[in-house]
Amino acid sequence: MELLLGHKIYGVASHREATGFNNLKQFLEKKSIEELDIKYEAYDSSGLNLFKTSHYITDGYEWYWRSFINGELTNDSRCICEVIKEKKAKKIYCLVHPNLWYQNHFHRIVT
């Protein structure tokens, strides 16, 4: 994701997805958060409350992006790449599912 977006990723929010596997266990099974240079895991007990304190963007509906600002749903359906390019969000919390990303991702195809 860092290479794709051109920005440092500071944290992860691993969770169970459609595959039925808990990717938190798989993600941290071989290396620790420190070894991966990650500052936090979003579901840890630190009380970050990122959903309520950031620009939250998700590809969770597969066919379009949803965007929340400080916990409130907006009409913004731009992908994470467009939001980053705009450079207005101070803190972005993004949920992406690797199984939805391809070399020619449908959100990125220009006709």
Q: Of the ranges 29-43, 63-77, 86-100, which is most confident?
A: 63-77
Average pLDDT over all residues of the chain: 77
Largest CA distance in the chain: 45
33, with CB counted inside 10 A (0-12, 13-18, 19+), is middle
Can you tell me the distance from the alpha carbon of 84 to that of 98, in angstroms, rounded to the nearest whole number? 18
What's the whole-number mean pLDDT along residues 75-92?
Answer: 87
pLDDT at 68 over 60: yes
Please compute, for residue 64, the number of CA atoms within 13 A of its CA located in the half-sphere on the CB side.
Answer: 6
The residue with greater pLDDT, 14 or 49, is: 49
Question: What integer is the mean pLDDT of 12-31?
Answer: 68
Closest CA to 51 of 66, 61, 34, 39: 66
Token pair of 26, please?
Answer: 């798989």
Predicted TM-score of the model (pTM): 0.67
Confidence of residue 72 (pLDDT cuts 50, 70, 90): very high
